[in-house]
Amino acid sequence: MNNSKPIYVTKPFLPPLEDFIPYLEKIWERRILTNGGPFHEQLEVDLAEFLGVKHLALVSNGTLGLVVAFQTLHIAGEVITTPYSFVATAHSLIWNDLKPVFIDIDPATCNLDPAKIEAAITPQTTAIMPVHCYGTPCDVAAIQRVADVYGLKVVYDAAHAFDVRVKGESVLCHGDLSVMSFHATKVFNTFEGGAIVCPNAKTKQRIDYLKNFGFVDEVTVTAPGINAKMNEFQSALGLLQLKHLASAVEARKKIAQTYLEALRAVPGITCFATAPDVTPNYSYFPILVGPDYPLSRDGLYQKLREQKIFARRYFYPLISNMPMYRGLASAAPANLPVATRIAEQVLCLPIYPDLSAQQVETILELIVARK
Ligand SMILES: *Cc1c(COP(=O)(O)O)cnc(C)c1O
């Protein structure tokens, strides 16, 4: 048993504390704590520029961002989505009284398979909610083609896709809306937080009303909105985090490259390839533990745990296997063979800027040992 400190799958990134003090002093001085304060306004502008998107609206977390996104577009009925994601993806539909319809995923990307969309469309279908799983871009062109033919909206769960680019362009510009999460565990964090990327000022206006109870002015409420506002503390932290993002992603990239080089030759272990035109954010490092590896996925998971290395089985169990979803016809494992297999083989290895080269070596030695 090793006596070193536990290694978790991620460790929240924070800038030096002293750098945050001036922001806090400003907040104390101004006494503007929330409701679209100056740090909130500045973060919206700076983030849109940083990400290369036209408009975005900050929200208090990614889940409420998804809930508000469906309200923004007046979605009703059925939404086609993936079972291979964090549970908030499907929960955001339930909170809007929408019915999730699960389709299988593409084994190369773990994203919903666009070829499976058409067969899942019914007269009640109004939207598609793909997830850029692990920050790997969805086949946005194929998804949009089906959406256009059937007049469906597309809401991307882009919780993993902060600053992911394809041919230099932000992947967040596709579909009708894209929703990011700035939760503590994500590449860019504001403790809790998120943002909805939208194509025009009018849509942003509607989101801004919806995230503040539907208030248009002091006496006018246009919609049954919710409280999904990002406060000044979170916004200030976001402004500071943004300055460190490039170096944080660079540190993640080094770790990902070390893992990839060491693991690609290990029989029974499969790593995922990044397409040459994609600029990733290295938010996760998933591997598949296949039948040619001497341990099962859970065997390797346990072996790492015994050494206080807490890799995570993202995403297992599938959302479609959770009690509130498994009664749906589309949740049947026979409908989702690829997602079912990958959920049983996947293990996400620790990856975060502070993970040392020595820690990466320790993790790799345990996996490469194959026993
Ligand atoms: C983190 C996450 C969310 C939820 O975001 P929160 O900010 O934690 O509410 C939604 N979808 C996916 C895929 C996520 O990973």
Segment 127-183, tens digit of pLDDT = 999 999 999 999 999 999 999 999 999 999 999 999 999 999 999 999 999 999 999
What pLDDT does residue 3 have?
65
Ligand 1 close to Cβ of residue 159 (< 6 A) = yes
Whether residues 236 and 130 fall in one domain: yes
Q: Is residue 174 part of a domain?
A: yes
- 241, 268, 284: which is the final residue of a domain? 241
Phi (first) and psi of residue 245, to 5 degrees:
-65, -45
d(C-alpha 310, C-alpha 140), whole Å? 33
Domains identified in the chain, total number = 2
For the segment 303-315, what is each residue's pLDDT rounded down to a tens digit? 999 999 999 999 9
Residue 319 maps to a domain: yes
pLDDT of 4 over the 90 cut = no
Ligand 1 in reach of 63 Cβ (< 6 A): yes
- Given this model, what pLDDT does residue 371 score? 77
Q: In the predicted model, what is the mean pLDDT of residues 121-132?
A: 98
The Å distance, Cα 194 to ligand 1 centre, comes to: 9
Ligand 1 atom index nearest CA of 185: 1
Please report the atom of ligand 1 found closest to the CA of residue 194: 7
Query: Binning pLDDT at 50, 70 and 90, where does residue 93 land?
Result: very high
Q: What pLDDT is recorded for position 187?
A: 97
Asked whether residue 165 falls in the same domain as residue 292, the answer is no
Rounded to an integer, what distance in angstroms lies between the CA atom of residue 203 and that of residue 96? 19
How many angstroms separate the alpha carbon of residue 371 from the centre of ligand 1?
34
Are 54 and 201 contacting, i.e. CB atoms less than 8 angstroms apart? Answer: no
Range of the domain at 334: 245-368
155 CA → ligand 1 middle, Å: 14
The per-residue pLDDT for 370 is 75
Is the CB of residue 190 below 6 angstroms from any atom belonging to ligand 1?
Answer: no
Check if 180 has its Cβ closer than 6 Å to any atom of ligand 1: no
In a shared domain, residues 307 and 223: no
> pLDDT tens digits for 97-111?
999 999 999 999 999
Is 155 found in the same domain as 88? yes
The share of the chain scoring above pLDDT 90, in percent, equals 98
Are residues 305 and 169 both part of a single domain? no
Pocket of ligand 1 contains residue 183 by CB under 6 Å: yes
157 Cα–ligand 1 center, Å: 8
Q: Which CATH number does the domain housing residue 131 bear?
A: 3.40.640.10
| Pairing relationship of beta strands 153-157 and 125-129 according to DSSP bridges | parallel
Same domain as 205, residue 152: yes
Which of residues 221, 241, 261 is at a domain's end? 241
Nearest to 315 by CA among 361, 347, 270: 347
pTM, two decimals, is: 0.98
What is the structure's pLDDT at 2?
A: 59
Does any domain span residue 139? yes
* Mean predicted lDDT score pLDDT of the chain: 97
- Pick the last residue of a domain from 183, 209, 241: 241
192 CA: nearest ligand 1 atom:
7
Summarize pLDDT for 194-212 with one digit per residue, the tens. 999 999 999 999 999 999 9
Strand partners, 287: 271, 347
Same domain, 55 and 150: yes
Q: Is pLDDT of 230 > 60?
A: yes
- The CATH number given to whatever domain includes residue 305 is 3.90.1150.10
